[in-house]
Amino acid sequence: MSENSIISLQNVNKWFGDFQVLKDVNLEVKKKERIVVCGPSGSGKSTMIRCINRLEEHQEGKIVVDGIELTGNLKNIDSVRKEVGMVFQQFNLFPHLSVKENITLAPIWVKKMPKAEAEELAMKQLEIVKIPEQANKYPGQLSGGQQQRVAIARSLAMNPNIMLFDEPTSALDPEMIKEVLDVMVDLAEGGMTMIVVTHEMGFAKTVADRMVFMDEGKIVEEASPDKFFNDPESDRTKLFLSQILHQ
Amino acid sequence: MENNSNFETRKPPVATTGILGWCRQHLFSNWVNSFITLLVIYFLYQLIPWFLDWSVFSADFWTNYKGELIVDRTFCSRVADPEGDHGACWAIIIVRFYQFMYGFYPSEQVWRVNLTYFLLVVALLPLLIEKIPGRKHLIKFTIAFPIVAFVLLYGGFGFQIIPTNKWGGLLVTLVLGVFGIAIAFPLGILLALGRRSQLPVISMFCTLFIEFIRGVPLITLLFFGMVMLPLFLPEGLNLDGLVRVLVAVTLFQAAYMAEVIRGGLQAIPRGQYEAAQSVGLSYWQMNRKIILPQAIRISIPSIVNTSIGLFKDTTLVIIIGLLDLLGIGRGALADATWMGLSNEVYVFVALVFFIFTFSMSRYSLYLEKKLKTGINMGAD
């Protein structure tokens, strides 16, 4: 593990039953680095980032996040989850709570923040994602793009050092993708450490410091966006790029 | 195009709106429906006037058709004058009303029961009405209510002790129903969570418990509580009969409640758990703030359904000798002074049960309507 890595995956292996989803995955992420992970479906990219906040358990290898190793130790898992925010493909907002309550819940219960302070924080986060006027609505009353922005605000309210995005725009209607990506670009420019699983190659080109291409549970190629898009090394990457760029 | 602005919005055809339209659409839409409608109207025409006449207009209340005060069955109009057209003789209920309500609770102490009923309503308020002022403080009282109720009803702390074999009628029915449901609810939640636990010991224990209790008739559990529970208890500890029955009823209800709530839990998408975990909520915080509120909302109709079922099943305690509302009624019928008035007694008992169960059912409808907005907001 290099000195300044904030996330480090070393020889990580994981199986679902007999099926091996992650094969000897090694990844080092430095502080403030923006990584975009892409690859065909079933390549293990979602599973990999879900291992980073222990929504999935890895069976072999070592994962260290901000100096904390992820093991069965529940205390470690709790501290890692406080460091790492996550945004899901399906938003996963809490439908029985208002937008504001979705955001204040964790600060109040996990960080024991006073309610007034948490609400102020929520409004600040909603302004960052540009929908302060929706604070008192319920998730079901919002569009997909707005819901995903609330989900981002909900994660940011815990003041994480690292944000994980698991295909954040895949469930959105085309005209809503941009509003979510804009928020993510702002976040990246603010210096957040980000790992983003996405097929939005335009976003990848503007934001990514490094591209990671996965196939069949392995990291096939890791390169700067410039090299990745213009001069990829492996044939598998070339094939993948030709398929997604020439639809 | 210019004409467009001159178009007035036309009204819908008269025959499809208003009362007439409603009747056409819902009662007489085709000849089968028309026939059924007429048939039902005919039966209602036959039934309602007859029942009103029997229960109100031709019925005796305090006095019979000659104007005499009714003191036993022979004074009832329908017994004294079998040829005449007389209805129910409610005097049996009126004379024994105290027993129906309180059993053999000493009358100089009965204010304690009435006070408990009043406090029960106060304790229910914060649960039933979400936006009541001072809800936080009222909830504290609701949690303390079982202890307050126990002291008031049973005695101690300066109150005269009234042994539970003096309790009876509606009091016993409500004690079993209200406490059975109220204690079984949290117990059922814990059992449901336990059955889904990833720790095999906990999940196996909960599953075994639920399956055992559900697999046994309530009567068996009542006998078990009455006859066998004392054998398991340490020597010298003699649990009160009513408490033993209450334990059996509560365990029975908890097992059913657990399965109902487990059904609700299964309807919550995995993403909700993952989102809750990823913002750092602990297991109990996640369940309390995210999972259970949604799961219980989904299960409200079934929760109320099993609760109504239990409330009626409390009448089974008659078999082990407790005198609940129905038990007092049967006692009254066994008494030579009032023999033969079973119609009145059973109609009365049924009516009292109906008032309680129907209120529960209405309240659940109100809750469903109120929460509907929240439920449909799950998916995008």
Whether B31 shows a pLDDT value over 50: the answer reads yes
Query: Residue B106 — pLDDT band, cuts 50, 70, 90?
Result: confident
The minimal CB distance from A88 to the residues B271, B289, B378 is found for: B271
The minimal CB distance from A94 to the residues B290, B297, B379 is found for: B290
Within 10 angstroms of residue A34's Cβ, the number of other Cβ atoms is 24
The minimal CB distance from A55 to the residues B274, B374, B376 is found for: B274
Query: Which chain B residue has the Cα nearest residue A77?
Result: B280
Q: In what order do the strands lie in the sheet with A19-30?
A: A19-30, A5-16, A60-65, A68-69
Within 10 angstroms of residue B351's Cβ, the number of other Cβ atoms is 11
Mutate which of A57, A90, A102 to test chain B, going by most B C-beta atoms within 10 A?
A: A90
Query: Which chain A residue has the Cα nearest residue B294?
Result: A96
Contact across the interface for A81 and B277, Cβ inside 8 Å? yes
Whether B41 shows a pLDDT value over 90: the answer reads yes
Element housing A28 (H / E):
strand A19-30
Whether B376 shows a pLDDT value over 80: the answer reads no
Query: Which pLDDT score, from 0 to 100, does residue B241 have?
Result: 81
- How close is the nearest chain B Cα to the Cα of A55, in Å? 7
- What does the pLDDT profile of chain A (247 residues) look like in tens digits? 556 789 999 999 999 999 999 999 999 999 999 999 999 988 999 999 999 989 999 999 999 998 888 888 888 888 899 889 999 999 999 999 999 999 999 999 999 999 999 999 999 999 999 999 999 999 999 999 999 999 999 999 999 999 999 999 998 988 899 999 999 999 999 989 999 999 889 899 989 999 999 999 999 999 999 999 998 999 999 999 988 876 5
B:328-357 residues touching chain A, CB 8 A cutoff: none
Query: From the DSSP assignment, how many helices (H) and strands (E) are in chain A?
Result: 9, 10
Average pLDDT on B289-301 reads: 90
CB of A51 within 8 Å of a chain B CB? The answer is no
**DSSP state, residue B161:** P
Q: Which residues of chain B does A145 touch, with a Cβ-Cβ cutoff of 8 Å?
A: none
Query: φ, ψ for residue B178 (rounded to 5)?
Result: -65, -50
Contact across the interface for B293 and A96, Cβ inside 8 Å? yes
- For B333-351, write each residue's pLDDT tens digit: 888 888 878 888 899 999 9
CA atoms within 13 A on the CB side of B222: 16
- How close is the nearest chain B Cα to the Cα of A6, in Å? 18
Query: Residue B378 — pLDDT band, cuts 50, 70, 90?
Result: very low
- How close is the nearest chain A Cα to the Cα of B130, in Å? 15
Average pLDDT on B225-241 reads: 75
> Which has more pLDDT, B61 or B40?
B40
Instruction: State how far the alpha carbon of A82 is from the alpha carbons of A77, A89, A112, A160, B87, in Å.
Output: 9, 20, 13, 7, 74
Residue spans of the domains in chain B: they are 1-49, 58-91, 168-371
Q: Which residues of chain A does B279 touch, with a Cβ-Cβ cutoff of 8 Å?
A: 81, 85, 105-106, 110, 154-155, 158
Query: Which chain B residue has the Cα nearest residue A104?
Result: B279
Q: Which residues of chain A does B297 touch, with a Cβ-Cβ cutoff of 8 Å?
A: 96
Contact across the interface for B278 and A82, Cβ inside 8 Å? no
Q: Which residues of chain B does A90 touch, with a Cβ-Cβ cutoff of 8 Å?
A: 269, 271
Whether B300 shows a pLDDT value over 50: the answer reads yes
Q: Which residues of chain B does A172 touch, with a Cβ-Cβ cutoff of 8 Å?
A: none
Query: Which pLDDT score, from 0 to 100, does residue B367 have?
Result: 82
Contact across the interface for A158 and B280, Cβ inside 8 Å? yes
CB of A106 within 8 Å of a chain B CB? The answer is yes
Annotate B42-60 with DSSP letters as a single string.
HHHHHHHHHHHIIIIIT-B
Mutate which of B291, B297, B373, B377 to test chain A, going by most A C-beta atoms within 10 A?
A: B377
- How close is the nearest chain B Cα to the Cα of A214, in Å? 24
> Which has more pLDDT, B57 or B274?
B274
The minimal CB distance from B380 to the residues A94, A106, A144 is found for: A144
Q: How far apart are CA A70 and CA B316, in angstroms?
A: 55
Q: How far apart are CA A234 and CA B18, in angstroms?
A: 73
Q: Which residues of chain B does A158 touch, with a Cβ-Cβ cutoff of 8 Å?
A: 279-280
Of B24-33, B179-188, B197-206, B322-331, where does mean pLDDT reach its minimum? Answer: B24-33
Query: Which pLDDT score, from 0 to 100, does residue B236 have?
Result: 67
Query: Which pLDDT score, from 0 to 100, does residue B342 have?
Result: 85
pLDDT over 90 percentage in chain B: 33
For tokens 């339209």, the residue is B21
The minimal CB distance from B271 to the residues A92, A109, A140 is found for: A92
Query: Residue B377 — pLDDT band, cuts 50, 70, 90?
Result: very low
Whether B131 shows a pLDDT value over 70: the answer reads yes
- How close is the nearest chain A Cα to the Cα of B361, in Å? 23
- How close is the nearest chain A Cα to the Cα of B298, in Å? 12
The minimal CB distance from B279 to the residues A110, A144, A171 is found for: A110
Average pLDDT on B298-323 reads: 89
Instruction: State how far the alpha carbon of B250 is from the alpha carbons of B97, B99, B257, B262, B371, in Å.
Output: 28, 25, 10, 18, 28
Query: Which chain B residue has the Cα nearest residue A159?
Result: B279
With 0-12 CB in 10 A as exposed, 13-18 as middle and 19+ as buried, what is A163? buried
Query: Which pLDDT score, from 0 to 100, does residue A245 have?
Result: 75
Query: Which pLDDT score, from 0 to 100, does residue B135 have?
Result: 81
Query: Which pLDDT score, from 0 to 100, does residue B1 have?
Result: 47
- How close is the nearest chain A Cα to the Cα of B183, in Å? 26
Whether B379 shows a pLDDT value over 70: the answer reads no
Query: Which pLDDT score, from 0 to 100, does residue B71 have?
Result: 80
Element housing A64 (H / E):
strand A60-65
Q: Does domain B168-371 have CATH number 3.30.70.141?
A: no
- How close is the nearest chain B Cα to the Cα of A139, in Å? 7
With 0-12 CB in 10 A as exposed, 13-18 as middle and 19+ as buried, what is B50? exposed
**Assembly ipTM:** 0.92
Q: Which residues of chain B does A144 touch, with a Cβ-Cβ cutoff of 8 Å?
A: 380
Whether B374 shows a pLDDT value over 70: the answer reads no
Whether B182 shows a pLDDT value over 70: the answer reads yes
Of B36-40, B117-121, B152-156, where does mean pLDDT reach its minimum? Answer: B152-156
Q: Is A68 helix (H, G, I), strand (E, B) or coil?
A: strand
Query: Which chain A residue has the Cα nearest residue B378?
Result: A95
Query: Residue B6 — pLDDT band, cuts 50, 70, 90?
Result: low
Query: Residue B65 — pLDDT band, cuts 50, 70, 90?
Result: confident
Query: Which pLDDT score, from 0 to 100, does residue B202 have?
Result: 94
